[in-house]
Structure 1
């Protein structure tokens, strides 16, 4: 592997020249507690608070209709990204695929680019949550970079942190923060945070069965200053929340709590904050009895020593991957007329936890509520919930009249993944989807802006192996998921406004709030949009032609003008007042259903490989999943149904037009598809096992 080649495409003097641009006339002042001015965007969240708020206000609710595209830039190999650009002195820094770019923010021209891993394919996709697939490669981590001390700091997906000279693109240092020798799957998937000469960053991916950790590095040379493991070892506080002996006495060593996201910092309190991922094995609660600290938790660490000052666990004994899957933000709360430094963290089920960031005590009350129980999984008796608060994605009333038999609705997002109860469905199952896309906060409205997906799914396991994770993709009649984008008032923890979309239209961009009274986001239909931050009214949109937006937006000054930039998949777009680049054609709409396979043979069961890859290849048979779930044939074709499992099944059309009769294990049944149409069928013995045949003329 060759590390650190670069290409200079434009004179580096362009960077120096940009440093002498005047500041924005009449720019609003930074919000209270902000650590950076209005002109630049030096880290993925905009400031140490991760507020994703900018004090720039030249673009506002009164003139946003004059906003137009200034330029667009296509990444090498059409590689997609979900990074937020960092900006300083009018230059943008962003990674996509295998490259890191420095781009002139006024013109879109490349100043330099560097490719840390020459062996990685140029078009590598770093837009999705498939970070696991890219682990082990020395490529820029997906969320973005940090700027400071004349350097660009980036995480690499092989577990290293690197510093690059901001002017030249030359590597200054690299430091491996993971295990040595490296563990399979370890990666720096979150962006580094630069604060006063130090780098704070976390290690993922705990899903590969190792402990996450947070480290501090000297920004000058990459020297390790301290490290904190997110799963406590023997003798450390919190270790008692894991099995202590016997068959599972070692499971804490594979316990997870990966650190997926960028941290926050409050230098006045001397604290950095990180959130942790799920416990491992992910759905195997029987292997890890206890609360499993410090999984699914907020950690407040001493900036100088790494010592744990306080923690707050939002999910005990996580069985749902229901961790804090979004970086929190810092803001100033008012409680009983007094101002208190606060932290806001959004749980994956859409509930917002508001804590005093000095002590970890809730500034909005939290209560314990009973949750469904499963002795096999050692479920926690209760889980914490903010009192009288709204979930971003709504409550169970959304689904009560939409889930039809044979499925049974359990109205708790903490419905455990049962063995042998395959028809139980629950909100957020199997994994809640308020995750990955960041949140934003405006001190002007005191609203927090967020997005997520409301859905119901099957709360089940198909194997008694605690390390097995996953089930076959199957066809069901469950209601379609819904994308939600909205605002929560941090004073009341209530929704103020929401917009709902088909889930495919939600996109993975997340919000940007500005002092101009606007909230920007990229959508799944290729549009970049602006909303009134207070009312939620849609004010403006621009079609980029790129579906499935992933990159969160940011704003910066270049050439004396405010710009707004967003990575739309394989392209970076910048907008300004009076921009003249025209809208692109809308991309084709993406489908939601499973792909249809051309075949006249359907199996009653499916062999599934576990997604828990850090503990070897593991397999299980899903007896209640037809393979393929959707098939296509011509009219007149005889379709063969093969009982490939170990239970008797009778396959019957939903309209009762045909049936195979009972099929014992290893038996086959034959049905001639006489007429064209789309036909749903099911197992009479296990009616939640469904499939679909598309019959063409």
Structure 2
């Protein structure tokens, strides 16, 4: 019986399991490889699949030649991989790990292969298995090492000595300059490892969203003195003791929205009892106008009723403006105020000490931001970002739902007096003649580019800087007006007191890609090379381009060039012949995609991505959308997004996170688009009503739910503004909580994942960041980008951390709001503070 088994021409059943894997894999590679060849792609996969099928057949027949054929395939795969991608780690993993595992299994089965030539001895087989295990083990070890993409080669040089002392975090970006730089020194690179939870506050407003349309905790609290102020997705504001986290008060505005729910921050204003210069001017003009009217009436009455001698008429002096007309209420209540907006478009002022509504503000504490807007469907217009309080003016823009229709609410930006809530000015880019309210019976110009992100301001120059989006919808622009084109995806400088434009700089021409300017501008004084400084504005973009402008004039400080881009818009639209590129600064995550850059956890999903890549129309940057599916890279999630950047002010290091996530875009005929869901403003099918086409949008991913291009999918980068060079760049985030198919892998493998939120830098040389897809907050060494601390959170975050030093205890805190990451079903209601042990 033993002799009969030994003489059988078919392999034993354990070997058949290997054969089945080879047949499935080889068949898929052959079938998909033939498709790829016909699409003009690589010839590697089809011959490899055919060779695997032949190898499988021979192995099934116990023929050792099957193993030799596989070894040839493996050797060719190694050579091909090195030729195509060099020694890049993650691209080689995609190509070679699966063949190596298959080779290990075949060598384990090798002693059973008794036919067709010289047999492989058990010792040789085990030696080969050992070699492959060592290689796979080394690969596994390397996969867990946070190797930088750009390694630091020098220490940052201190270029600014006048560093501020620790003080309040009053604005979303800490100051109106939006640098997110905390001048705190207690927590250092040496002791950061000792950070521990100091307090936890649970507010109860968990961002649950069964429809998946936008309940996201994106809050960065602010800190004023010994109090921290945080807001939740439904705009409930909580005042907390800065040292204990104990609640001092809370305020619920009872806000509702059927689409997005979020609150990125609140703002602070300290009343002086004096209304703004802009409102003083308006009041004086109104008094003068009334005086002129009274004088005219008196003159007319005098002509009719009084005796006039020698044709002379009395002159009526205009009454002087009473003092109280230019003074705000001096009530003691609400000297310190929290200024907030809501998801149903209201502006509210609260007493920072008690949470009571400031009744002298607006209409009993509230201003209706829908006034002058015309029709506003619920959820179609509101403020996602914090109001900007600058020089006594509250500057308010607003988010307008994307991609639903033309003629949506206006992108008007308005300035309200911080004392009274009165409208001081309006900047309606479609009608500059409207400086406050629209004429009776009219509205602010509908459908204009809006300002949904956070402005920055320079109090000395008296300018506020607005990052604009584009006129809705995003992916068709044939209907847009000249003023829409002029201000699309731009930075606009307005006079804070009057709202009149000083300058604007456009970052995209005729934007058809949803490349709004999403980040708050960062204001910083650059060395001018002659011992002085130049007032600069640094603007990061979804495109991965970083524009550096003179903030007084808007002229580029570092070179910007207009470059030719692909043409060929859909019927009824057009494409700009050129687009602006910031050639004087590094571009991040924008290298041209190629078939060779397609990736997958295995050669099989890599082949899928190659096929899909070849099916898409892709001509590089600014490939225009059309009726055939096209690839957009960078995608409309970024690049850099609303989390914005941080500037370490002593050294001039610009630090920011980015996302690398391409999109598949396709315009669809009107009859199909009419069935679109209004909630699908980003991913999915959007109606774009009022245009000839809807837009179908989806992230370009493999069947495993992994982006189709090679890693990283998110990085942290530091650029030395003094040299305009990348100082370091590291992968950001692991697959611990979000791997293939959304599986929580529990592996701290720093592949670099999509990011959200922003970083904070500190005077002691640390970078704090929490907006990864895994549930961690991290600290990095500013000099090298090396991770020096990590703490597991009960839920992920989408926020920028808050850093402050308590004025009462002198203890430094790092605070983060943990409500859950966008890609996870783990949600929470946590505000957590970290500090060194007492």
Partner of 1:90: 226
Q: Measured at CA, do residues 368 and 81 of structure 1 come closer, stay the same or move farther in structure 2, by a change above 3 Å?
A: same
Partner of 1:637: none
- 2:204 and 2:650 mapped to 1: Cα distance? 39
- 2:375 and 2:653 mapped to 1: Cα distance? 42
Structure 1 residue corresponding to 2:805, chosen from 535, 553, 557: 557
Say if 2:641 and 2:756, in contact at 8 Å, map to a contact too.
Answer: no
Pair 1:305-2:442 in alignment:
no
Partner of 2:294: none
Q: Measured at CA, do residues 32 and 46 of structure 1 come closer, stay the same or move farther in structure 2, by a change above 3 Å?
A: farther
Gaps of 5+ in 1: 1-28, 121-130, 238-249, 580-697
Say if 2:187 and 2:812, in contact at 8 Å, map to a contact too.
Answer: yes
Partner of 1:284: 476
Partner of 2:779: 530
State the number of aligned residues.
Answer: 519
Alignment of 1:31-46 (within 5 A): 38-46=166-174
Partner of 2:297: none
Partner of 1:217: 416
- 2:339 and 2:250 mapped to 1: Cα distance? 14
Q: Measured at CA, do residues 384 and 294 of structure 1 come closer, stay the same or move farther in structure 2, by a change above 3 Å?
A: same
- 2:754 and 2:636 mapped to 1: Cα distance? 20
Alignment of 1:561-572 (within 5 A): 561-569=811-819, 570-572=829-831
Pair 1:259-2:461 in alignment:
no
- 2:392 and 2:433 mapped to 1: Cα distance? 32
Partner of 1:273: 465
- 1:545 and 1:399 mapped to 2: Cα distance? 39
Pair 1:133-2:339 in alignment:
no
Using the size of structure 1 for normalisation, the TM-score is: 0.69
Deviations 1:498-546 (A, max 9, x none): 2224685444231001101000000321111000112111111111121
- 2:160 and 2:356 mapped to 1: Cα distance? 35
Q: Which moved more, 1:471-480 or 1:76-85?
A: 471-480
* Deviation for aligned residue 1:398: 7.6
Q: Measured at CA, do residues 397 and 472 of structure 1 come closer, stay the same or move farther in structure 2, by a change above 3 Å?
A: closer
1:468 alignment partner, SS class:
strand
Q: Measured at CA, do residues 490 and 93 of structure 1 come closer, stay the same or move farther in structure 2, by a change above 3 Å?
A: same
Q: Which has the larger radius of gyration?
A: 2
- 2:422 and 2:161 mapped to 1: Cα distance? 33
Q: Measured at CA, do residues 352 and 32 of structure 1 come closer, stay the same or move farther in structure 2, by a change above 3 Å?
A: farther
Say if 2:267 and 2:389, in contact at 8 Å, map to a contact too.
Answer: no
1:322 alignment partner, SS class:
coil
Pair 1:64-2:192 in alignment:
yes
2:509 alignment partner, SS class:
coil
Q: Measured at CA, do residues 143 and 278 of structure 1 come closer, stay the same or move farther in structure 2, by a change above 3 Å?
A: farther
- 2:224 and 2:756 mapped to 1: Cα distance? 25
Structure 2 residue corresponding to 1:479, chosen from 709, 721, 727: 709
Gaps of 5+ in 2: 1-157, 208-215, 272-335, 359-364, 436-441, 599-608, 671-690, 739-752, 820-828
Q: Which moved more, 1:568-577 or 1:513-522?
A: 568-577
Structure 2 residue corresponding to 1:159, chosen from 325, 345, 349: 345
* Deviation for aligned residue 1:311: 0.2
Pair 1:142-2:142 in alignment:
no
Q: Which moved more, 1:315-324 or 1:453-462?
A: 453-462
Say if 2:387 and 2:396, in contact at 8 Å, map to a contact too.
Answer: yes
Partner of 2:248: 111
Partner of 2:795: 546
Partner of 2:395: 200
Q: Measured at CA, do residues 432 and 459 of structure 1 come closer, stay the same or move farther in structure 2, by a change above 3 Å?
A: farther
Say if 1:555 and 1:564, in contact at 8 Å, map to a contact too.
Answer: yes
Partner of 2:757: 509
Partner of 1:582: none
- 1:555 and 1:508 mapped to 2: Cα distance? 18
Structure 2 residue corresponding to 1:314, chosen from 489, 507, 513: 507
Deviations 1:196-250 (A, max 9, x none): 3222221222636232122211111111111112x3238899xxxxxxxxxxxx9
- 1:218 and 1:328 mapped to 2: Cα distance? 23
Partner of 1:493: 724
2:644 alignment partner, SS class:
coil
Say if 1:197 and 1:219, in contact at 8 Å, map to a contact too.
Answer: yes
- 1:288 and 1:527 mapped to 2: Cα distance? 43
- 1:560 and 1:189 mapped to 2: Cα distance? 33
- 2:481 and 2:416 mapped to 1: Cα distance? 35
Structure 1 residue corresponding to 2:488, chosen from 290, 295, 300: 295
* Deviation for aligned residue 1:457: 2.6
* Deviation for aligned residue 1:425: 2.3
- 2:371 and 2:795 mapped to 1: Cα distance? 38
- 1:519 and 1:201 mapped to 2: Cα distance? 30
Deviations 1:624-675 (A, max 9, x none): xxxxxxxxxxxxxxxxxxxxxxxxxxxxxxxxxxxxxxxxxxxxxxxxxxxx
* Deviation for aligned residue 1:40: 1.1
Partner of 2:622: 414
Q: Measured at CA, do residues 471 and 529 of structure 1 come closer, stay the same or move farther in structure 2, by a change above 3 Å?
A: closer
1:563 alignment partner, SS class:
strand
Structure 2 residue corresponding to 1:380, chosen from 552, 559, 576: 576
Say if 1:325 and 1:435, in contact at 8 Å, map to a contact too.
Answer: yes
Say if 1:216 and 1:226, in contact at 8 Å, map to a contact too.
Answer: yes
Q: Measured at CA, do residues 475 and 46 of structure 1 come closer, stay the same or move farther in structure 2, by a change above 3 Å?
A: closer
Say if 2:647 and 2:653, in contact at 8 Å, map to a contact too.
Answer: yes
Say if 2:661 and 2:700, in contact at 8 Å, map to a contact too.
Answer: no
2:478 alignment partner, SS class:
helix
Deviations 1:128-156 (A, max 9, x none): xxx88147xxxx73333334330000111
Q: Which moved more, 1:370-379 or 1:194-203?
A: 194-203
Partner of 1:425: 631
Pair 1:169-2:355 in alignment:
yes
Partner of 1:228: 427
Q: Greater strand percent: which structure?
A: 1
- 2:801 and 2:635 mapped to 1: Cα distance? 29
